[in-house]
A and B are shown apart, each in its own frame.
Chain A
Amino acid sequence: MKLLTGTALALVLSASSALAMGHGACAAGKTLTEDTLTIATGNPAYYPWVMNDAPERGEGFEAAVAYAIAEKMGFGADDVTWVRTSFDEAIQPGAKNFDFNMQQYSITPEREEMVDFSLPYYTSAMAVLTTQSVVDGGATAALDSLKGLKWGAVATTTALPILNDVIQPDSDPLLYNDNADVNAAIMAGQIDAALYDLPTALYLSAVVVEGGALLGQFPPEQSEQPDQFGLLMEDGNPLKECVDAAIMELTESGELAAIEAQWLADATGVPVIE
């Protein structure tokens, strides 16, 4: 009996080490630097995706997912190095300085023609950020009410097509470079509302925008093309299959959901816009 358990244990051990070897083998020779996984994020990286702009600590949703993926691919925490890129640097032609880039890139078919995306690691609801004074002014979480608002969005996000397709506002939305500029415009009263992914909107309304309020959310189940975040890689990067396998494994084992529950706030209190 003891021998049997011993053999079984040995078998399990060798199987798991073979598994680990298998992952290591998948990524072997495919990374930028041998035995090192180079991950890019934004500059700065925003809460709650990365805490305190320090991805190397593994705190924050994307930082935690990055280390989980690295582990599944056979890289220890010490084998991960971080670099920073803008969106434009990530899509420029020529050699990349990262193995994969992780900063809430929405997967779209148009983008997929130029770069490769991994399987999605997060599906985001979109949320309407506004201020208490706009809510007091009679704005409600109904499409008719939303149409009449003056809208803003960050120009480089997929919030804009969603805004134009789903809400179809009466006046043309104003567009800005980054979150900070949108918030400035909201606080200056130049726009009534802005469309963000839900975790970002929750953070901005609670911490950044004075008198900020969340009017409502568009849950992903309701959308034909939900906003899914993927890791961005150079077109034809051989590492894609290894990354996809790691994400698949994390999804199926429920680890990804656990990381999400740990770092992203529960948003069930935000009213749903039909």
Chain B
Amino acid sequence: MGDTSLGSAAVGQSTAAPTRREVYEAGVRRRANRIALISTAAVLAAIVLLVPLAPGWDAVQKSFFNGRVFAATFPGLLEAFLLNVMIFAWSAPLIAITGLAIALCRDARAPALFPLKLFGVAYTDIFRGLPVVLVIYIIGFGVPGLGLPRPWNSPYIWGTLALVLVYSAYVAEVIRSGIDSIHQSQRSAAASLGLSDRDTMRFVVLPQAIRNVVPANMNLFIALQKDVALLSFIGPVEIFRQAGVYKSLYANFTPYVGAALIFLALTIPATRYADYLMNKQNRARS
């Protein structure tokens, strides 16, 4: 948005008196745009024309871009994707809350709270160091294996817990970096105003810290959207598993392409939005 308003301001000036420099720069810009357009078109044409010339293209097309299989499986994939959305919807708030709590543990400054700080450090170290799949297996099969009755042994409950454990460790680190980015002088100023440590954190540090790390956390939630699919390892039939079932039934990989398209339809707008937030923040800072 900022760009266009700047641009129109420049146009307003140039109608008054286009300097030689402005004319020259406009020419350079036009030339750059032309070259970008031509090179993009050339690359696209090369892909569209050359790839089908490869000797195995027919076989690849039949296995990965099979219209008949796509049409037969896409509705089922969309339906399975609802489960992804649901798991994401209840995991994300839990992750945000747990992540914040762990970050506050790590930031505990009072000597008496040292065990809490130690816990925070151990938690982030362990869960950031483990592969998500392993945590899902250990918790998803292991805890129910202790002999819990139904419905408390549901893979949804324990799979969600595994996602929360791993992702909250990442979110905690991001929030902690946000907290660290708030200068010590802010805390000193708050203390001189008579705020308690608790109120300093609540009203001075966190509001600024969290605002700083929103874009970084957006990226984590985009990654979470994809890792929800890992829950399929312990039973739930979400989109990735459903695609695998279709792949096996049709001996064809097209359902995975369908699933990828559905994922992209959600992750690309989310990524763009995260970029937009990040740019906005950078402009506000500069």
Residues of A at under 8 Å CB distance from B?
Answer: 87-88, 91-94, 108, 110-111, 113-115, 150, 152, 155-158, 160-161, 172-177, 181, 184-185, 187-191
**In the complex, how many angstroms separate the beta carbon of B105 from the nearest chain A beta carbon?**
31
**In the complex, how many angstroms separate the beta carbon of A101 from the nearest chain B beta carbon?**
12
Taken together as a complex, chains A and B put the C-alpha atoms of A110 and B56 apart, in Å, by: 21
* B contact patch SS: helix
A174 pairs with B62, CB closer than 8 A: no
Given the known inter-chain contacts A174-B237, A190-B155, A191-B235, please indicate yes or no for A111 contacting B251, CB distance below 8 A. Answer: yes
Given the known inter-chain contacts A174-B236, A189-B153, please indicate yes or no for A157 contacting B145, CB distance below 8 A. Answer: no
Taken together as a complex, chains A and B put the C-alpha atoms of A204 and B145 apart, in Å, by: 18
**In the complex, how many angstroms separate the beta carbon of A107 from the nearest chain B beta carbon?**
11
B62 pairs with A114, CB closer than 8 A: yes
Interface size on B, residues (CB 8 A): 32
Kindly identify which residue among A88, A92, A94, A189 contacts B147, using a CB–CB cutoff of 8 Å: A189
Interface residue B64 (Cβ < 8 Å from any Cβ of A): yes
Kindly identify which residue among B63, B141, B232, B241 contacts A185, using a CB–CB cutoff of 8 Å: B141
Q: Mark B139-161, 1 if CB is under 8 A from A, else 0.
A: 00100110111100111000000
Residues of B within 8 A of A91 (CB): 63, 247, 251-253
A110 pairs with B145, CB closer than 8 A: no
- 9 A-B residue pairs with Cβ-Cβ distance under 8 Å, sorted by A, are A93-B60, A174-B237, A176-B233, A181-B234, A185-B155, A188-B144, A188-B153, A189-B150, A189-B153
Kindly identify which residue among B144, B233, B252 contacts A190, using a CB–CB cutoff of 8 Å: B144
Interface residue B110 (Cβ < 8 Å from any Cβ of A): no
Residues of B within 8 A of A181 (CB): 141, 233-234
B235 pairs with A175, CB closer than 8 A: yes
Taken together as a complex, chains A and B put the C-alpha atoms of A173 and B147 apart, in Å, by: 21
A160 pairs with B59, CB closer than 8 A: no
Residues of A within 8 A of B145 (CB): 184, 187-188
Taken together as a complex, chains A and B put the C-alpha atoms of A45 and B245 apart, in Å, by: 21
A114 pairs with B250, CB closer than 8 A: yes
Kindly identify which residue among B56, B153, B232 contacts A94, using a CB–CB cutoff of 8 Å: B56
A110 pairs with B249, CB closer than 8 A: yes
A93 pairs with B59, CB closer than 8 A: yes
Residues of B at under 8 Å CB distance from A?
Answer: 56, 59-60, 62-64, 141, 144-145, 147-150, 153-155, 232-237, 241, 244-245, 247-253
Residues of A within 8 A of B148 (CB): 189
Most B CB within 10 A of own CB, among A87, A94, A155, A157: A155
Taken together as a complex, chains A and B put the C-alpha atoms of A183 and B60 apart, in Å, by: 35
Chain B residue at minimal CB-CB distance from A94: B56
Kindly identify which residue among A92, A174, A187, A191 contacts B63, using a CB–CB cutoff of 8 Å: A92
Kindly identify which residue among A152, A161, A187, A188 contacts B249, using a CB–CB cutoff of 8 Å: A161
Residues of B within 8 A of A157 (CB): 248
Taken together as a complex, chains A and B put the C-alpha atoms of A155 and B244 apart, in Å, by: 7
Taken together as a complex, chains A and B put the C-alpha atoms of A85 and B236 apart, in Å, by: 26
A184 pairs with B141, CB closer than 8 A: yes
Taken together as a complex, chains A and B put the C-alpha atoms of A137 and B144 apart, in Å, by: 19
A190 pairs with B244, CB closer than 8 A: no
B245 pairs with A155, CB closer than 8 A: yes
Residues of B within 8 A of A87 (CB): 248
Chain A residue at minimal CB-CB distance from B248: A156
Taken together as a complex, chains A and B put the C-alpha atoms of A158 and B246 apart, in Å, by: 11
Kindly identify which residue among A93, A113, A174 contacts B64, using a CB–CB cutoff of 8 Å: A93
B237 pairs with A156, CB closer than 8 A: no
**In the complex, how many angstroms separate the beta carbon of A80 from the nearest chain B beta carbon?**
25
Residues of A within 8 A of B154 (CB): 190
Taken together as a complex, chains A and B put the C-alpha atoms of A187 and B146 apart, in Å, by: 10
A188 pairs with B141, CB closer than 8 A: yes
Given the known inter-chain contacts A114-B250, A156-B244, A184-B145, please indicate yes or no for A190 contacting B63, CB distance below 8 A. Answer: no
**In the complex, how many angstroms separate the beta carbon of A174 from the nearest chain B beta carbon?**
3
Residues of A within 8 A of B141 (CB): 181, 184-185, 188
Given the known inter-chain contacts A91-B252, A108-B249, A111-B251, please indicate yes or no for A190 contacting B59, CB distance below 8 A. Answer: no
Taken together as a complex, chains A and B put the C-alpha atoms of A55 and B232 apart, in Å, by: 32
Taken together as a complex, chains A and B put the C-alpha atoms of A185 and B60 apart, in Å, by: 36
Chain A residue at minimal CB-CB distance from B147: A189
Residues of B within 8 A of A115 (CB): 251
A189 pairs with B144, CB closer than 8 A: yes
Given the known inter-chain contacts A181-B233, A189-B147, please indicate yes or no for A114 contacting B241, CB distance below 8 A. Answer: no
Residues of B within 8 A of A88 (CB): 247, 253
**In the complex, how many angstroms separate the beta carbon of A98 from the nearest chain B beta carbon?**
15
Taken together as a complex, chains A and B put the C-alpha atoms of A115 and B63 apart, in Å, by: 10
**In the complex, how many angstroms separate the beta carbon of A50 from the nearest chain B beta carbon?**
21
Most A CB within 10 A of own CB, among B234, B235, B245: B235
**In the complex, how many angstroms separate the beta carbon of A183 from the nearest chain B beta carbon?**
10
**In the complex, how many angstroms separate the beta carbon of A71 from the nearest chain B beta carbon?**
29
Residues of A within 8 A of B241 (CB): 155, 175
